[in-house]
Amino acid sequence: MIVVTGAAGFIGSCLISKLNLEGFRNIVAVDKFNIREKEPNLMGKSVIEMVDRDSFMNWLDKNAEKVEFVFHLGARTDTTEFDMELLNRLNLDYSKSIWNSCVKYQIPLVYASSAATYGGGELGYDDNHEVIDKLEPLNPYGVSKNEFDKWVLKQSEKPLFWAGLKFFNVYGPNEYHKGRMASVILHAFNQISKTNAMKLFRSHNPEFKDGEQMRDFVYVKDVVDVCYFLMHHRKDSAIYNLGSGTARTFLDLVKATFKAIGVEENISFIDTPADIRDKYQYFTEANMAKLKSIGFTQEFTSLEAGVADYVGNYLMNKAYY
């Protein structure tokens, strides 16, 4: 059996689709299954059991000998969440419990970290373990993810194999439920479809022109390909960046979205909301050398190709992966 936490969410449900496509049917889905908007993410997928997040640790104690691999992708991912107690409970303490169980039963583990751990990028975007203790994330979500990375690196007892993945700006199908936290591509698609125009955040940093804020956008299909690779690789335990390796502007992204929809470009700018303005990352770019050095040689999908696939094959028909 392969366990996927956060199974009803964006990346988790896409990973289950990938596993199903590769012939893996014995999937145990772990999540809170009480959000109606997430239900279509798992529709039609092969899952042998659905386990409530709060019951999972007890379930694992009883079923550990049958579990081949754990993908821990569940988390509170709202970057505007300021309840540190909630974030510590869901992102830090829960992850520690999973880690400890994987150590106890010697189950390989891949878990989700985040590029939010890098903060403003003052120390760059290298997945060097020596840097992790010095990082200063810009929001409580990033803090909770970095605290777990720091804790992991201090553990003397480790699972048979483990990898932490610092996800950069992931976009793609199955994120309809994410609301404000959905990718800019989904927001752009919705806005352009309604108004034939798109409003982007104005730059409040003199080093960047409006719309030229840059992020490392990575297609979710590439993300789950890396997860699948690691499930078979099972060596070189470490924390790894997971982005495309190439920073692109929000203008690039929106222009690609206009093109994919077939609408003439019409872009204007509005102020970045005050509640996130001081916590805004103006540039991110994953150094992907470490993952490539262990044998992941697949090329990452270009922004234009990813947007074209996402818009044309999913958003246009509200289809799921």
Q: Give the whole-angstrom CA distance, residue 59 versus residue 70.
A: 13
Structure tokens given for 70 = 């754990």
Structure tokens given for 52 = 């409530």
| Residue 278 clears pLDDT 90, i.e. is over it | no
Mean pLDDT computed over every residue of the chain = 94
Structure tokens given for 140 = 């409580």
Is 178 known to be catalytic?
Answer: yes
* pLDDT value of position 77: 63
Residue range of the domain that includes 232: 2-171+216-245+285-301
Instruction: Label the pairing between strands 217-219 and 109-114.
Output: unpaired
Question: 264 lies in a domain?
Answer: no
154: CATH: 3.40.50.720
Q: Give the whole-angstrom CA distance, residue 110 versus residue 60.
A: 16
Amino acid at 24: F
Structure tokens given for 282 = 């103006």
Question: 32 lies in a domain?
Answer: yes
| Residue 190 clears pLDDT 80, i.e. is over it | yes
Question: 317 lies in a domain?
Answer: no
Among 229, 239, 251, residue whose Cα is nearest residue 287: 239
Among the options 158, 178, 199, 259, which is catalytic? 178
Count of structural domains within the chain: 1
* pLDDT value of position 78: 62
Q: Work out the average pLDDT over 195-202.
A: 95
Q: Which helix (H) or strand (E) holds 86?
A: helix 84-87
Give percent helix, percent strand, percent coil of the chain, each to the nearest 5. 45, 15, 40
Question: 33 lies in a domain?
Answer: yes
Could you tell me which residues come within 8 angstroms of residue 24 by beta carbon, excluding any fewer than 6 positions away?
2
Question: 207 lies in a domain?
Answer: no
- What are the strands, taking DSSP E only, across the chain? 2-5, 27-31, 49-52, 69-72, 109-114, 162-167, 169-171, 198-201, 214-215, 217-219, 238-242, 248-249, 267-270
| Residue 257 clears pLDDT 90, i.e. is over it | yes
| Residue 44 clears pLDDT 90, i.e. is over it | yes
| Residue 89 clears pLDDT 90, i.e. is over it | no
- In percent, how much of the chain has pLDDT > 70? 98
Out of 146-155, 207-216, 270-279, which region has the weakest mean confidence (pLDDT)?
Answer: 270-279
pTM of the complete model: 0.95
- In percent, how much of the chain has pLDDT > 90? 86
Among the options 118, 125, 141, 321, which is catalytic? 141
Give 72-87 pLDDT, tens digit per residue.
998 776 666 667 777 7
Question: 209 lies in a domain?
Answer: no
| Residue 35 clears pLDDT 90, i.e. is over it | no
Question: 25 lies in a domain?
Answer: yes
Q: Residue length, the chain?
A: 321
Question: Do residues 38 and 9 touch, judged by C-beta distance below 8 A?
Answer: yes
Question: 126 lies in a domain?
Answer: yes
| Residue 281 clears pLDDT 90, i.e. is over it | no
Structure tokens given for 302 = 């270009």
